[in-house]
Amino acid sequence: MIDLHIEKQYKDFKIIMSYACREIGVTALVGRSGSGKTSVINMIAGLMHPDRGHICIDGRTVFDSEKSINTAAEKRRFGYVFQDGRLFPHLSVMSNLTYGMKLIPKAERYLETDQIVDLLDLSGLINRRPARLSGGEKQRVAMGRALLTSPSVLLMDEPLASLDAARKNEVLPFIKKLSTDLSIPVLYVSHSMEEIRSIARRVMVLNNGQLRFAGKTEQIIQQEGFSHEAGADV
């Protein structure tokens, strides 16, 4: 499902990362601040470009430096959920949800509005504007909007980082549902051990641009030095 090798040279920092996985579910990408996590997820999304390597999702190559393939971000069909949701303030929840979906041909959609509204428990919110939503509700809407583009992978960059404990506990069950109810691989950036243990089947640990550990969650979190390398809140 996910096959990538990316290299990116900054002035005094270099990212080199290879990873391949054919299972669905949530893979957590963890690491200390400045380790390169957001750069990695942005390169997968097409918001940044690697210097060398390849990115192949669900059998489709969207970047390959040797073959001069570099699919534009808007054509990659990857869902992206940011820390702050980034909803359109002038649109209702329903209009936010369907904004990207309308750009996808009907024949290529595999998720429908009612399905996502039910999955994320949004039925009571669809007529509200974002200003009338809690932080947790905004993130659920952002997740729904990303899913309704019928993506081949869902990218989540610390989507709960701005929420308090109560709102995190509100949203986590819905992220769990994504990995069990929908056959979509999820790449999830986080610092929280609670989140990692709760939702991730696999973990990748990035340190100073290099992949230090990768594997099943229960095995990786027991590795000596995991907490230090990952910068995880324990």
Going by pLDDT thresholds of 50, 70 and 90, the confidence category of residue 67 is: very high
Determine the residue type at 162.
S
Strand, coil or helix: 115: helix
Q: In the block, which residue shows the tokens 């990115």?
A: 55
Going by pLDDT thresholds of 50, 70 and 90, the confidence category of residue 185 is: confident
C-alpha dihedral sign at 138, 141, 95, 48: positive
Model pLDDT for residues 142-152, shown as the tens digit of each residue: 999 999 999 98
pLDDT of 33 reads: 85
Strand, coil or helix: 81: strand
Going by pLDDT thresholds of 50, 70 and 90, the confidence category of residue 234 is: very low
Percent of the chain with pLDDT over 90: 55
In the DSSP assignment, the letter for residue 39 is H
Going by pLDDT thresholds of 50, 70 and 90, the confidence category of residue 204 is: very high
Cα separation, 188 vs 157, in Å, equals 6
Residue 195 has pLDDT above 80, yes or no: yes
Structural domains of the chain ordered from first start: 1-78+153-234 (3.40.50.300), 79-150 (no CATH)
Sheet (strand 186-189) strand order: 69-70, 60-64, 52-57, 2-9, 14-21, 210-216, 202-207, 26-30, 186-189, 154-157, 79-81
Q: What is the pTM of this model?
A: 0.89
Dihedrals phi, psi of 68, to nearest 5 degrees:
55, 40
H-helix or E-strand containing 157? strand 154-157
Cα separation, 10 vs 230, in Å, equals 21
